Structure 1
Amino acid sequence: MALGVAVLTASGLFALASPGSAQAATSYCSGRKVRTLPFSTGYVQVFKSGGYVCVVTFPKHQGARKSMSVSVQARGSRPVVDSGLFAHHAGPVTVHAGHRCVWIKGSVGSGSVSSGWILC
């Protein structure tokens, strides 16, 4: 009986741990993920909640600190930028876009992405 309870408890803990690791990327921004912008050395995840847009850049391979950046600009406003040497991610950065288009940029090392005006 005790062995059965131990097995059920362990399997429950594994079930809880697995979704947490899958949702780790989404925990940086609130709202729903609306787009992923891939590029050669990483990707940018884009989230939207109400009139706010939040973005985070992730490298393809985490570990050593490397040059990363992420920016989001609502049309008619200045970009909000986070850049530096990071091991896991750059950002999150958030802007209030309302119903305006946004321009998203991200980079990891020599690879980068630039979205053009999107989410209009």
Structure 2
Amino acid sequence: MTGVLAVAVAAGVLTVGGPAVGAADAAAASCAGSRVKTYGFTTGEVRVYRGGSYVCAMTYAKRSGVRQQMRVSVQARGSRAAVDSGTYTQRAGPVTVYAKARCVRVEGSVAGRGTASGWILC
């Protein structure tokens, strides 16, 4: 009976944990606001969003599903850059900075190829 109880508890934890984890991943996988710029490059693209006083960016790979090195960076003028870098299958980011009344600079790369925006949204 202890084995049956252990299996039932494990199944219950998996059932309860599954949707909560998926919801958290979905919420963390997007930027708030509206897309204001897209910068394409050979292996992917960087999408830039603005919502209120914040700017957010994500880098997407053209060839998703393949584990590869990706990076996204967004920096408000006068501040440090927010960076997400690692080996991913679909995207890097989101990264968000407070940028009220300041220009931002966005960079992104996939598999060693990338782009940089210069100062934008001034």
For 1:91, the equivalent position in structure 2 comes to 93
Q: Which runs of 4+ in 1 moved over 3 A?
A: none
- Which aligned pairs between 1:22-101 and structure 2 lie closer than 5 A? 28-101=30-103
Structure 2 regions of 5+ residues with no counterpart?
1-25
The superposition leaves residues 31-62 of structure 1 with CA deviations (integer Å, 9 ceiling, x where unpaired) of 00001010110000000000100000000110
Q: CA RMSD for the aligned pairs?
A: 1.2
Q: Which residue identity does 1:115 align to in structure 2? A: S
For residues 32 and 78 of structure 2, the distance between their equivalents in structure 1, rounded to whole angstroms, comes to 24
Structure 1 regions of 5+ residues with no counterpart?
1-23
Q: Calculate the TM-score normalised by the size of structure 2.
A: 0.76
For residues 71 and 110 of structure 1, the distance between their equivalents in structure 2, rounded to whole angstroms, comes to 14
For residues 74 and 62 of structure 1, the distance between their equivalents in structure 2, rounded to whole angstroms, comes to 29
Q: Calculate the TM-score normalised by the size of structure 1.
A: 0.77
Rg comparison, structure with higher value: 2
Residue 68 of structure 1: how far off its partner (Å): 0.1
Residue 110 of structure 1: how far off its partner (Å): 2.0
The superposition leaves residues 63-114 of structure 1 with CA deviations (integer Å, 9 ceiling, x where unpaired) of 1110000000000000000000000100000000001000000000021000
Q: Which residue identity does 1:72 align to in structure 2? A: V
For 1:110, the equivalent position in structure 2 comes to 112
For residues 87 and 64 of structure 1, the distance between their equivalents in structure 2, rounded to whole angstroms, comes to 5
